[in-house]
Amino acid sequence: MEFTKISSDRIGDSYYKMLHPSGLTIYVYPKKSYNSTYAIFGTNFGSIDTTFMYKGEKIVVPDGIAHYLEHKLFESEDGDAFAKYAKTGAMANAYTSFDKTCYLFSCSDNFEESLNILIDFVQSPYFTEKTVQKEQGIIGQEIKMYDDNANWRVMFNVLTAMYHNHPVSVDIAGTVESIADITAEKLYKCYECFYNLNNMSLCIAGNIEPQEVLRIVDKKLKPSPKQEAYSIFEDEPYEVCQSYIEQNFDIAMPSFVLGFKEKAKQRVATVEEIAATDIILYSLLSDASDLYNKLINEGLINDSFGYEYFEGRGYASVLFSGESRNPEKVTEMIKLTIENLHENGISDKDFEMSKRAIYGKSIEILDNPDNIADILISFDFSKRELYDYINAIAKITKNDIENRLKEQLDVNNCSLSVVKPFCED
């Protein structure tokens, strides 16, 4: 049983990967120049996984159950995991996204003790009806807090405007009503289905060696029988639900998210597609682009502006967001520039500049162990490899970009979400 060394001649770096006999996929990315080490243990189970098949049975669970399970897993019969981390000095956290749930820590000392805590509590669920009911009030308050957060609502409003059926439009934490239906039995069922080591990954980056990790995990991992739960999503129409959605908040400056919806696919994007999209978006609206500087100079956006390619199982869109006193004007200018891009293609100058910039950013990420581990686990769950993405950037051509453009940024299939102050002149 050995790690496979994955190397990049292009950048002169390496990391290690293993499919452990327990079923768990393990990545180790040594960075000897760093004093700290970062570990993330995650499952390919997120907020969108509410309807799934398991052992021939269709199972439907309440919205927000993945996030709820994340909260409850820190508790065990022998104490709270955070209290244990306090003794090792490690900084611990967890998060639930649309498509995964992850538990993590970073430390400068006591790595073995901290990794033991992580593996132990993630593999040892302990739920009772009493503790589950107690958590409903805590998470209910969290949901209400996010409902009152303008930045949170403007994002989910655009997803609601774009998606008819896909659960990506549902708040990750669910609703107060949906979490009221969560029981210990349902939490255990989700744990059984998705917290199988064959559906999980452990990624570690920093001042650590593969054999040291293997020595620790060999003592701790409990073998999982290979089984599969897979989610079911309703067919998602290409067209957005509505082109505009607005909400009022007690804020000083309006904010917006402009989303361009893509055709739903049964697979996630390839590294080549991701690389092409990254270059397109950089050329279009990075701080080096003509459009960005025009919007800044006209006072239409500020340094809160950003963009992302938002994609996962069964959904994909490009999102532009920020603060603006005139989101409609910003939208108009973005759409006009996109139309020109579709008609005339990307210029040689913009292509070369954007390609170099994205390649540089991908290398820069490898200087941060936190970023490395986060990317490794995301890529593992989407069946992508880190160095393949970097190679795709280096090899991409203008023709690849123009072919990718045919699938993206349809100005007739977009939604604008705006939150405005209650009293706006």
- Catalytic residue numbers read 70
β pairing state of 79-80 and 13-19: unpaired
Q: How distant, in Å, are the alpha carbons of 111, 207, 274 from that of 107?
A: 6, 10, 32
What residues have CB less than 8 Å from 355, skipping those under 6 apart?
279, 393, 396
CA-wise closest residue to 195 among 343, 24, 312: 24
Report residue 101: phi and psi, to 5°: -130, 130
From CA 278, how far away is CA 392, in angstroms rounded? 11
Contact assessment for residue 224 and residue 198, using Cβ atoms and an 8 Å cutoff: yes
